[in-house]
Amino acid sequence: MLMEQSLSKIRPMSVVAQEAINYIAGRRTHEIKSLSTRWGKLNKQCMGGVEPNTVYTIAGISGSGKSSFANLLQTDLFDLNPTEQVVVLSFSLEMVGFRQVGRTLSNKLRKTTSELYSSETDLSDSDFSNVIKVANSLKKYSIYFVDDPTTPMEVEQTIKEFYESKVKGTSAHFVIVYDHALLTKQVGSVIETMSELERVFIKAKKLPSTSVIQLAQMNRNI
């Protein structure tokens, strides 16, 4: 029985080559598309944008703008790809969800977060009306937030349950955004935790039309 299970995971070249043909054909007819971002250089280097069945790692030191990048990217997936169905599962471990939305409002309204949060001068009635208008428009985006750090195994279970309930059976691009890896609840050493998390993401990217964007923090010595 064990040998039969092992053999079932082995796939011949004839099958894999046909899958390559199918993928190239789908790209040629635009049935399979990458999701565009605002960054032309990123789009060029990544087959037109966020490509299906791919894991991307964005790494930088603390304060280098990783979370801001992810925040802009998430809304770009909807704003710049209006004909595509997109579903985003955002593990916002460093910042709670409403703070992420605050950053989005800051960008779209060209206001600093200090201005939005009335830290020095109260936000005017007209500006607050604009906040409500833009925030209500964001409600239509299929972005779902996970705020609490969990173990890699719990991350895997969350992705599985979310995919089954929100994505499976649709034609949606499923994008997982993970901010950031070192905030994962540890199981054993840091290296063991990171290795298990990568296993989870490599498995997740094999789901249909699924991409993973993980943020990683370097120390200052890189």
What's the CA gap between 145 and 134, in Å, rounded? 19
Task: State pTM to two decimals.
Answer: 0.88
Residue 101 has pLDDT above 70, yes or no: yes
pLDDT in tens, 13-62: 999 999 999 999 999 999 888 999 999 999 999 999 999 999 999 988 88
Least confident of 8-12, 20-24, 55-59, 121-125: 8-12
Q: Are 35 and 142 in contact (CB under 8 A)?
A: no
pLDDT in tens, 151-181: 999 999 999 999 999 999 999 999 999 988 8
Closest CA to 214 of 163, 171, 167, 159: 159
In sequence order, the β-bridge partners of residue 214 are: 57, 178
Residue 2 has pLDDT above 70, yes or no: no
pLDDT at 89: 97
| DSSP 8-state class, residue 171 | -
Residue 3 has pLDDT above 60, yes or no: no
Dump strand ranges (E) for 72-172: 86-92, 143-146
Q: Are 187 and 149 in contact (CB under 8 A)?
A: no
